[in-house]
Structure 1
Amino acid sequence: MQTTALALAHEKLGAMMVPFAGWKMPLHYGSQLEEHRTVRQSAGVFDVSHMVIVDLKGSDAKTFCQTLFANDVAKLKPGRALYTTMLTEAGGIIDDLIVYQLGANEYRIITNAGTRDKDLNWINTQLKTLDLSVQLFVQEDLALLAVQGPAVLESCHLWLPEAFTTQVKALKPFHCLQTNNMFVSTTGYTGETGFEIALPNANVQDLWDKIIASGVKPIGLGARDSLRLEAGLNLYGADMDEGVTPDESNLSWTVDLSDTSRVFIGREAIEANRVKPHSCLMGAVLEQKGTLKAGLTVFLNDRPIGTITSAAWSPLLSRAIAMVRVNEPAEQAIVQLRGKPASISLHPLPFYKNAKVVVTTHKEGENHV
């Protein structure tokens, strides 16, 4: 099992270490709920060095990315980023990822750890098939930290290089900046303001120590999951996979069809099925005490209409919440908990946006802002 360069630092901070996608990673440092609240209320730092960082360079890099990804990198300029999906010919989601433009013929992608081998095999296969002038560099020597929360901008001068801080604080969402050996982007997986920082493994301990010394708390993967769920952000392998399309996964906006001359992998299938997707993702709130879990069947008038794909406890709503894949929309539905029917309310995703909870529970009729 692989470990990040910060494995000992996590253990010294009392982290509960667990296996995740072939890595030994911190689940929490004591209380997952407190870590969740910390990110929503102030700031937290995640070690996400298990993610896969790949650079694509060459005279055909733009053409390759335009073919490989459903979103169009033609919209990018150096220093900007976009979220996209990578599709099969049938329109199924191989993975979701962020593409950053580093230079005129240079792009960086960051993909999921659990899909590493599949993604790299697919990218290399397409590269050979298309016979383009592109080199692929897997950045094994880079660590990745995510510093997230509303107080991040207040503390970043304490741990970023002084000459770099002003530039970083001025970055708009989905922008990026490289200086010396540090790559900073205004991206994340929590629904909060924040940065993701890639830098050499040899330097990450020093940055981690400075971040912790500034008062930013360490956060584990447990809170990362509940934070992303509140923010309505999909988890690959749970909420989406190769069996569903972006249109069936609240990701239609990641598919750019505006350039009719652009041919990308999966385009034909997406256009053919866009009129009537087979399913959609919705948010669910349990309207009583209890917990939800992935795999539970969702019923409407005693008919199965879908399945819970991922679930967590929401500290903001003080309720169990979930993502549900349904084959027809509804406002109320039923799941079976311990052999008894339990009511769930169904909502458009997300649960949380722009620092506010945006769902109203049917049972109490109150908005949890």
Structure 2
Amino acid sequence: MTRIGSQGYAAAYAYAGATNTQTGTAAQQQAKAAEAARTGASSVSVTLSAEAQAALAGKADGRDLATVVSDARKSLDALLSAAKATSALKDGKATIDISGLDRRALYAIASNQGGKFPIEEQVVASLQLKAGQDAALAGPAADARVTGDYAGLYKAALTRHEAAGTEEKATLKWQNEKAALVEGLRQSTAKPGAAPTGIADDPVAAYVKANGGVVSNPRSRDIDDVVADVRVALDRQYSLATGEGMATGPDAGKIDFTRFDDRSLSAIALNKGGQFSEHEAKEAAGEIRSRNREGVSSYWKAAQQSGDGSTFGRTLVSQYVSMSAEEREAVGWTPALYEKMVATQNLSAKLSSMFGPDGSIKTGMSLLDYL
């Protein structure tokens, strides 16, 4: 957004309207006009959105990749030292705040550029990138729910997407998502008020699905408050159900969980407060596990398409860290499983670093020596 001070317009008007009939000499009039113009110019202010600032910063970043990696490594070392931590994660929680790092640095860490960043740092950086995207889409998504302006939502997503650095833009994932966003903008412009459909790799659709449920702010609120809202939402859904075989009460029938987020589903499945029927808990447990299986399968397929198998393990660890305690318990993802995933991923990265692009061992050490 740009704000131009009114003095700038006044100065131009004063200069254009000056004539010899006005009081004072022509030189004095010109001097006054020049001073007004100078003062007016100094009142011009420009305010850019965070995404526009990020895009400009990305274009102005002339560093080579080696410098980006080196700077990111130094920043992380400083943050770890200040936090008196030896790892960016502890018990599945971040030990450092990396929100101050720029997007290019975050991507370098998340994708382990140069092999300089362990899995814990990759995960924290990946989640920070996602947090940045979520923040960019939150406002436009809220507007879209009220006004149906999905075109504005896709424009915001494209602006965020284009702010990526050189390395990120070179990936197949970025290119696929760019194509999806362009198609989403086309559909939403052609049919105002209707959400685009049938688009593969659409990050906006994924965001709306994860954050547009019937329960308000399920990830940030106390679980007891979430449970209360879920109970109300289910009862209302039963009262409106008309389809054949659909549940009209808590004890029988198919329950439509389409608009329930994973934490809300987990609360039903666990049913720790006894707010839900046995049927509801069983149906929710089946749904949350089905979603989990589909998610893991999609992570695997994406890793195969990218040509980088390490992304699968990194995505799984990132998923664990981003889950609430209720979600982890509902799908059986335990701290022991988390530790095993991290250890496996670190071993995989260590083994991969032994070999050059042609498959030759980089050092004269044997495999056992290296490990």
What is the TM-score when the length of structure 2 is the normalising length?
0.23
Which has the larger share of helix?
2
Q: Which has the higher contact order (CA 8 A, sep 6+)?
A: 1
Considering fraction of residues, name the structure with more strand: 1
Larger of the two Rg values belongs to structure: 2
